[in-house]
């Protein structure tokens, strides 16, 4: 299992510098299917941070919550704007939560 996990990690972890050799149709956010061209367009429309790009493209809103794509998006922003990658920001990772019915809040010991 550990060998498979290492192989899987090597195959599917985006490599550093991907923003320098990717094309416009290269998917940067796999969860939301956001490509490099969409990120470039967002930056041209005024996005200067990863959070700004998220608001315009949905990048980082998928099930990984930006864990896989935020550094790629930051790299692309840095490449376009000339800012450093850290200056482009990171997404706030949110815990997976589900909404519950307000009527269930006061029920002791019961789960919806």
- 15-25 confidence digits (pLDDT tens): 766 667 788 99
| Residue 94 pLDDT exceeds 70 | no
Helices 36-44 and 50-57: crossing angle in degrees, nearest 10, is 110
For residue 87, the model assigns a pLDDT of 94
Residue 81: count of CB within 10 angstroms of its CB: 13
Of the chain, the percentage scoring pLDDT greater than 70 comes to: 86
Question: Does residue 72 come out as left (phi exceeding 0), alpha (psi in the -120 to 50 range) or beta?
Answer: alpha
Please calculate the CA angle 39-25-44 and round it to the nearest 5 degrees.
25
Q: What is the pTM of this model?
A: 0.71
Share the mean pLDDT of the chain: 85
């Amino acid at each position: 299992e550990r060998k498979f996990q290492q192989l899987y990690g090597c195959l599917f972890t985006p490599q550093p510098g991907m923003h320098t050799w990717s094309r416009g149709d290269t998917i940067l956010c796999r969860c939301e299917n956001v490509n490099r061209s969409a990120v470039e367009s967002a930056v041209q429309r005024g996005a200067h941070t990863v959070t700004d790009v998220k608001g315009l493209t949905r990048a980082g809103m998928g099930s990984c919550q930006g864990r896989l794509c935020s550094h790629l998006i930051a790299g692309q922003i840095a490449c376009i704007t000339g800012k450093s990658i850290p200056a482009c920001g990171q997404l706030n990772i949110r815990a997976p939560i589900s909404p519950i019915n307000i009527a269930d809040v006061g029920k002791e010991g019961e789960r919806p």
